[in-house]
Chain A
Amino acid sequence: MLPSRFALHRPPSVEAAIELLDRHGEAATPFAGGTELLVAMKARALRYDHVVDLKKITSLRGVRRLADGGAMIGPLSTHRELSSDPVLAEVLPTYGALSSNIANVRVRASGTIGGNLCFAEPHADPPTYLCAADAVVHLAGPRGERALPLARFLTGEFSTARAHDEILTGIEIPPSAVTSRIAYESIGHLERPAVNVACRADDLDGQRRFRFVVGAACGRPTELPALTGQLPASDEVEAGIRIRQLAEAACDKLGDVADDLFGSADYKRHLAAVLICRTFMKIRSMEVRQ
């Protein structure tokens, strides 16, 4: 369980890192926390002649508020840092709990949000939530900079729209996410989540709109059709039953779910429906508390 021989580069800037990735092509990989990359390299399922360690690029850390009310998350921020980041807590108050429950303490201490998104392991917590937040990823490469929605960046299992010579430079949370409410639930009996769901509530034109993103069970986070309409004001139980029926029906149509160690496809669809209800009720209870 030792990786094949490689040259370790520690560029001081994004430009220098891009130059290295450009120069070495597919023989090079960016390296952040290494919690997934190194496991695969030690198993020799992946091998690179050049490993470009981004950790010297301090500008890629931390969370800052943007003028439009949104925020930019530095991709090298570790899960542990994000679990208690005060700026992020203002912007996405429910993200901290997610971040403090990722994997285990060792992964949280070294694993980064950017590495998590770029490795695109489907059984992960952050992508589901951040897709519901309409996060936008910023990439920089030899051909310049570009931005695209996270939901389009993630293209499937271990697959993203990132070119091999591009670096993720920021994860932008748009202002609309800041004014919305997001609830997140994850479930699984193994180390990684089997299914997770993020529910987001927005008020649009006087109409309450709930959106749901299902993750982990499928190759990439999948957004379900939005839920609109009025809940019966009085009866929580009634509301719960109704949302459950709708959720089960919606999840029955969820594609790209396969039988695997995490559970049979039908069970995972069911779990998605359960989590839809739970996140939905969680948002309702957030509102009651206020």
Chain B
Amino acid sequence: MKAESQLHETEGIRHDYVDKVTGAACFVSDVVVPGMLHGRILRSPHPHALIKRIDASRALRMPGVVGVLTGADLAGLNPNWGMYLRDRPIIAVDKVRYVGDPVAAIAAVDEFTAEEALEQIEVEYEPLPFVVDAEEAMKPDAPLIHEAPETQKDFYVKGETRPVAGTNIFQHHQYRNGDTEQAFASAFRVFENEYSFPMVVHYAMEPHVAIADLQPNRATLWTCGQSLSAVQKVISQLFGYDLVNIRVISGYVGGGFGGKAFVKLDPLVAALSWKLGRPVRVCLSIDESMRTARRLSGAVGLKTAVDRDGRITAKSIRVVLNGGAYSDTGPIVAVKAAIRAIGPYRIPNLKIEAFGVYTNTIPGAAFRSIGGPQGVWATESQMDEIAHAMAIDPVQLRLENMVGKGEHIRPDLRPLDIDMASMLKLTEHELSSIADDQRAGAAAVGATDPGIFPLAAAMVRLKVDGSIVVHANTVEIGQGTHGVLRYVASKLLHQPLGRVQYAMPDTDIAPFDWGTGGSRSTVVMGRAVQMACEDIIRQLAQLAAEVNGGSPDDYALSPAGVSGNGKCLSISDLTYAGWNIRSGEYIGIGRVTPRTPGMTPAPIFWETSAGAGKIDVDADTGQIRLTTYVSAADCGRALNRTAAEGQDEGAAMMGIGHSLYEEIVYEDGQPLNASLIDYRVPKIDDTPQRFRTLLIESGDGPGPFGARGMGEGAILPVAPVIANALQRQYGVRIRELPLTPERVWRALRERSLEQESGPAVEPALEFRSAEASQPAPEPAQQRAGYRRILDSVRRRFGASDQRPAPQENAIPAASEPQSGPQGIAFSAEFVVPSPVANVWALFFDLSRIAGLIPGCSDVVELEPNRRYSAVMRQRLGVFKLEVPAVIVLEELVEHRTVRARATGTDKLTGTSVDVLLDLQLQELEAGKTSIAVHSTTQVLGKLAALGYPIVKKRARELFGEFEQRLRAELDA
């Protein structure tokens, strides 16, 4: 029995749209459970610290506060969970590992009360050395972030990770095929480059939210997660429920992009409910979501050997990914980044080494095409570099090396199932047909093996009136999957889309599904729904044969009903004929497992993408605009063309984000911009003026009607397309993302300095202040200024190339205090016309010294020459800080050294301040003393999170003022 289908009739496929635009759609944050409490989370201001003490007694005394959860409550459990490594506690136990790590959670009658109560919790920390950079974290003397976490093999995600004991390396993956060393030795040319990828966040519009109700024998959770069964599994592991006694329910989800993959917030909310015995809801803010998960950042080093014609003979890939404080899915992301750095190319000799490394930063996690943008950015940049160096057309170089459809990229993986050469040529052609200029464009391709586990089941119920409901735990995260799965049922069971419902995911009702992600739902769940429909069709044909005679094979389902043997009966009539009643339903079950034909070997399908584009660069400022962009994907069959195009466009737009704007910047262990105030995501204005998606429908995918997974691939080529266009149009190569205007400007400036030497121009205009005219700059001086700019290239915000600038004419840059890795540093050395004894006396004249410290008052001696207390008041406009501080003299050598440490916490914002001040005195000659001031200041908490650059600037200004006052006092 065969189903006829007319594709591309998708009117009404997005049944969720009306609900969403009218506000009727129910997201988890809309769910109200009777008796529900509201939780808020207290987070660590320290990048790495031991928790010495938590005192929540004042919070618990507040009216409306019901309870608090801290690590101490988990004493009876194994509190750790994870996908590959059980390295993440439900809530911090004894130690915090990043700024934002949950330390305590309050449940109260409403969110406001819970938020107020957080401020009443006292936490005493003992700061530990921290590390935010992956390469630094791999060094033997780096602070160890985890002690031997427990590994889990094939627990929920396939495989296991290989941590290196006693180090921060949680994954060390190696792969070899052929003999790379020999190939490098005999190569025509070898190219060796490193490409770095920024720390970017998912920024789904809906922040993480969860509700948990843990009763003694039954747990119910509402999750925004992308995998209900993963939540079920982890909650079962942690709290000991049978899987069947854990019910996980999903609503609509306002975007995930991997930030909600598997498990994130759920165990913490479950533990609150477990402790208090009441349902608890926790809904994060966007700032908190940004501190919950992010893409793994890092560097991909490539060594590629080519022969005389540009054919690749060997490639060595070294990936070092920064996995943050907890490994999550980092182990597989690191491996995928390396595999995706191979590209769709024939590599006879291949060597891969991938590291996933713990650091004291936001935990890394899956993100749209895991590891893909990191790997493809490197490989597709280098392909153009090779082409450029060998004077080969970059598209030609790619085509020369490209694996054909049916050929292997790696012998252990499924052969490539897409004709990528045609896809690339089509993309190039489309670019030249839509572009309105002759500037050089650039192209890039990406090939990924989605990390899908083929385990899914669906249930379809056909009612006697022909209406249908699909039960499947695929989560609608905005991608339109519920529409697609309804569409599959509608086509196969010949009912209009409007009569096909989708039951919202619920583990009590729908069967197991591994999860929504990795572009798997259309293929894997689509197949399960297809099989469920075929099951129903078999039942109908069987019943028809029993009622009307003949064999089931004689019957077919059509819009009119079941026909065969000369008769056609509607579903209702057939039911009546068979069961003597016009009621009841047919239930079909569809199940995909790794044993289902076509589901092995991995990947089930290749998700590939080709992109081509043109850019405009404002050479004066370095601003890039992607003006024209073509993205191509072979989706096999577009079941909802509009949604498929939208997915492809959305992925490309997301690629613009990490290419041009996005990066979480860390300084002194603090994320400087983990909020939407200074973290810029692409906006509608950033859409290329000419923007095309080419959906290729080769019809040979493994999903229903020949569909293939899609929606992630288009993120891959964007960054290399832009960087390659920059090289082709402007001759500069940048290997660091994002391509901020400053990085581009520096690269352009350096290049023009290599070339230029313009004639001096006599100015006819001049800047003239009222008092005195300023001399026009000498051209030589001006060039020296540019040299100085280049000298500072290595500074963090714009460094693009490590090549040192030429030294002639260099003017030494004014020495500027740079902050060390562990705080805001200030140093000054000066000589005062005062004998050392007088200087020393001043330091211990409390009223005089207090007068020299800006904002310092109420100095009290607690213990002579040892402990003092004081109040530090600072003000920046409306922002005020009042810190009662304790000052301890840690070291005292008369007439020589004072080392003092001042610590305290602001009363209003909880901002904590820790200042280490070191003064060294030396008597030079009679009546003269040299004073060296060194200080390190740590500022942690709200004000630091909101405006660290300003805090830093202010701290330095204050020390500068102290220095000035001290000099003035002693000069007098």
Contacts and interface: CB of A to CB of B under 8 A. Distances in A.
Contact of A227 (B285, B767, B943): B767
Contact of B878 (A4, A29, A228, A238): A29
Given A157-B950, A226-B767, A274 B116 contact: no
B742 A263 contact: yes
B17 interface: no
B942 A259 contact: no
B111 A2 contact: yes
Contacts of A261: 665, 672-673, 678, 797, 949
Contacts of B908: 47
Interface string B282-296: 000101000000000
Contacts of B768: 225-228
A230 B765 contact: yes
A156 B950 CA distance: 11
A158 B765 contact: no
Contacts of A258: 949, 953
B309 interface: no
A249 B776 contact: yes
Contact of A266 (B112, B776, B789): B789
B909 A246 contact: no
Interface in A64-87: none
B877 A264 contact: no
Interface string A176-197: 0000000000010111100000
A251 to B, nearest CB: 10
Nearest to B681: A191
Contacts of A1: 115, 285, 287
A270 B742 CA distance: 10
B761 A191 contact: no
B620 A246 contact: no
A137 to B, nearest CB: 16
A274 B763 contact: no
Given A261-B949, A266-B792, A228 B774 contact: no
A261 B667 CA distance: 11
A242 B908 CA distance: 52
Given A225-B767, A261-B797, 17 more contacts: A44-B909, A44-B942, A157-B876, A157-B877, A158-B879, A187-B741, A189-B740, A229-B764, A231-B764, A238-B761, A248-B777, A250-B774, A252-B785, A261-B949, A263-B797, A264-B792, A267-B742
Contacts of B763: 242, 245-246
A205 interface: no
B680 interface: yes
B759 to A, nearest CB: 10
B879 A160 contact: no
Contacts of B879: 40, 45-46, 158
B876 A158 contact: yes
Contacts of B676: 191
Given A43-B942, A45-B943, A264-B742, A187 B621 contact: yes
B235 to A, nearest CB: 27
A225 B788 CA distance: 24
A40 B877 contact: no
28 contacts: A2-B112, A40-B878, A43-B287, A44-B119, A45-B879, A157-B950, A158-B877, A189-B623, A189-B680, A191-B676, A192-B678, A225-B769, A225-B774, A227-B766, A227-B768, A229-B765, A231-B765, A245-B776, A248-B777, A249-B767, A252-B785, A258-B953, A260-B949, A261-B673, A263-B742, A264-B792, A267-B797, A274-B621
Contacts of A228: 765-766, 768
A44 B911 CA distance: 11
Nearest to B956: A258
A191 B943 contact: no
A226 B676 CA distance: 38
A190 B663 CA distance: 11
Q: Range of interface residues on chain A?
A: 35 or more
B854 interface: no
Interface string B446-473: 0000000000000000000000000000
A247 to B, nearest CB: 8
A271 B621 contact: yes
A224 interface: yes
A20 interface: no
B798 interface: yes
For B285, B745, B763, B878, the residue with the greatest tally of chain A CB atoms inside 10 Å of its CB is: B878
A182 to B, nearest CB: 18
Interface in B756-809: 761, 763-770, 774, 776-777, 782, 785, 788-789, 792, 795-798
A45 B661 CA distance: 27
A123 to B, nearest CB: 9
Interface of A: 1-2, 4-5, 29, 39-40, 43-47, 104, 119-120, 156-160, 187, 189-192, 224-232, 238-239, 241-243, 245-246, 248-250, 252, 258-261, 263-264, 266-267, 270-271, 274
Given A157-B877, A158-B878, A189 B661 contact: yes
Given A2-B115, A158-B879, A229 B766 contact: yes
Nearest to A266: B789
Contacts of B945: 43
Contact of A245 (B116, B774, B782): B782
B900 interface: no
Interface of B: 111-112, 115-116, 119, 285, 287, 620-621, 623, 660-661, 665, 672-673, 676-678, 680, 683, 740-742, 745-746, 761, 763-770, 774, 776-777, 782, 785, 788-789, 792, 795-798, 876-879, 908-909, 942-943, 945-946, 949-950, 953
A259 B795 contact: yes
A242 B777 CA distance: 11
Nearest to B207: A1
B761 A245 contact: yes
Contact of A270 (B745, B777, B942, B953): B745
Which 5 A-B pairs give the minimum distances between C-beta atoms?
A158-B877, A225-B769, A159-B877, A249-B777, A260-B949
A76 B782 CA distance: 46
Contacts of A4: 116
Contacts of A187: 621, 623, 741
Contacts of B943: 45
Nearest to A37: B878
For A1, A238, A271, the residue with the greatest tally of chain B CB atoms inside 10 Å of its CB is: A1
A158 B111 CA distance: 30
A113 B953 CA distance: 27
A159 B874 CA distance: 13
A191 B797 contact: no
Contacts of B764: 229-232, 242
A72 B289 CA distance: 44
A80 B776 CA distance: 42
Contacts of B769: 225-226
A258 B957 CA distance: 12
Contacts of B116: 4-5
B772 to A, nearest CB: 9
Given A45-B909, A45-B943, A249 B798 contact: no
B602 to A, nearest CB: 39
Contacts of B761: 238, 241-242, 245
Nearest to A228: B768
Contacts of A241: 761
A190 B680 contact: yes
Contacts of A231: 764-765
Nearest to B953: A258
A120 B942 contact: no
Contacts of A267: 742, 745-746, 789, 797-798
Contacts of A2: 111-112, 115
A99 to B, nearest CB: 17
B237 to A, nearest CB: 32
Contacts of A192: 678
A215 B556 CA distance: 75
B946 A249 contact: no
B742 A249 contact: no
Contacts of A157: 876-877, 950
